[in-house]
Amino acid sequence: MLRDRSTLALAIVMVALVVAGPFLPAWLRFVGTVALANALAVLGLLLLIRTGLVSFGQGLYYCIGGYAAGVGGKDLGLTDAFALLALGIVASGIISAILGLLLCRYREIFFAMFSMAFSMILYGLLSKSQKLGSTDGFNVVTPTFLGYAPDGANVKVWVFGLAVVLAFGVGIVLHQHLRSGMGYASEAVRDNEIRVEYLGVSAQYVVWWKYVLAAVLAALGGGIQALASGHVGPEMAYWTTSGEFVFIALLGGTAHVGAIISAAVIFEFIKTWVTQISPYTWQMFLGIVLLVIIMFLPKGLWSLLARMRRAS
């Protein structure tokens, strides 16, 4: 696997970030952790886009992952980071497996709208739940790591390292998956679903499987976000959260998993910077960036790298 240049590059960057983590400024480490949490959700969205579907409801599972980590510590007494993340994975896997049976029957605009509708339903329920903090949410327990309890700021260092390993580890696995038979089946469903059926592969099953996998990755990202910020709230399920994931996917392009991770980091730093300069108009700035990308780089920032390679 590591003989592949892209895989090797991802592995090198992963190791470098884990080693550099303890020496980074606290603010940079936090922004990087949030960016990698978002990258996990967008990597799942990449799988859906490859099948020709766009989901504006990934915030549903992002929120489930975050709230699972919060509830696991608050009501179940769990503190281990891996156990808290596992709760979100199991919960999102079960829910997405059920909802996927419905959603995979509807394609194109209906898929996007239905997925967003379920996300907004969760947002409404959480906003009205007094037990879960209503619109304010609630704090998440300080995590431990397989019995080890870092002290003070070292907790954030460990969460950052965990985010790096998960994001780049998932990226490496997905890079190999997209080059496998099941990975190419996604593009086949997008291009000609009827021919896929003639070949004996169920297009509906391919979409269902990608939907469940995308949900699990979104929940994993939501869990990391909860551990990093120490707080969860219903805004994690709001449609703008899902819209940010779509924005990141458009920013990076779907040609390579490295594009998704890079775009997530770029997006989070731009958002942080613009919010500090103009907290009330940062959405407008991001909208302008999106328009520029659509007009001049319709295949994302990764296409710019491809152009530079061809030019050289």
In this prediction, residue 169 carries a pLDDT of 96
User: What CA–CA distance (Å, rounded) separates 104 from 230?
Assistant: 34
- Could you tell me the two tokens for 232? 């969860």
DSSP 8-state secondary structure symbol assigned to residue 143 = P
Burial 194-228 (b: 16+ CB within 10 A, else e): eebeeeebebbebbbbbbbbbbbbbbbbbbbbbbb
3-class secondary structure per residue, 18-32: HHHHHHCCHHHHHHH
The residue among 283 and 12 whose pLDDT is bigger is 12
41 pLDDT band, cuts 50/70/90, is: very high
What number is the average pLDDT over the span 155-175? 95
In this prediction, residue 275 carries a pLDDT of 85
Note the maximum CA span of the chain. 60
In this prediction, residue 104 carries a pLDDT of 81
What number is the average pLDDT over the span 91-115? 87
pTM given for the model: 0.92
In this prediction, residue 311 carries a pLDDT of 64
Over the stretch 148-160, which tens digit does the pLDDT of each residue have?
Answer: 989 877 999 999 9
The residue among 224 and 285 whose pLDDT is bigger is 224
- Could you tell me the two tokens for 93? 């896997």
**Is residue 187 classed exposed, middle or buried when 0-12, 13-18 and 19+ CB atoms within 10 A define those classes?**
middle
In this prediction, residue 290 carries a pLDDT of 77
The residue among 308 and 295 whose pLDDT is bigger is 295
User: What CA–CA distance (Å, rounded) separates 239 from 21?
Assistant: 32
In this prediction, residue 2 carries a pLDDT of 46
pLDDT at position 44 over 80: yes
In this prediction, residue 312 carries a pLDDT of 63
Question: Across the strands, what pairs with 139?
Answer: 231
The residue among 2 and 32 whose pLDDT is bigger is 32
What number is the average pLDDT over the span 211-218? 96
From 116-120, 155-159, 161-165, 252-256, the region with the lowest mean pLDDT: 252-256
Number of H helices and E strands in the chain, helices first, is 13, 2
Over the stretch 48-78, which tens digit does the pLDDT of each residue have?
Answer: 998 888 889 999 999 999 999 999 999 999 9
Q: Are 53 and 212 in contact (CB under 8 A)?
A: no
Cα 94 from chain centroid (whole Å)? 18
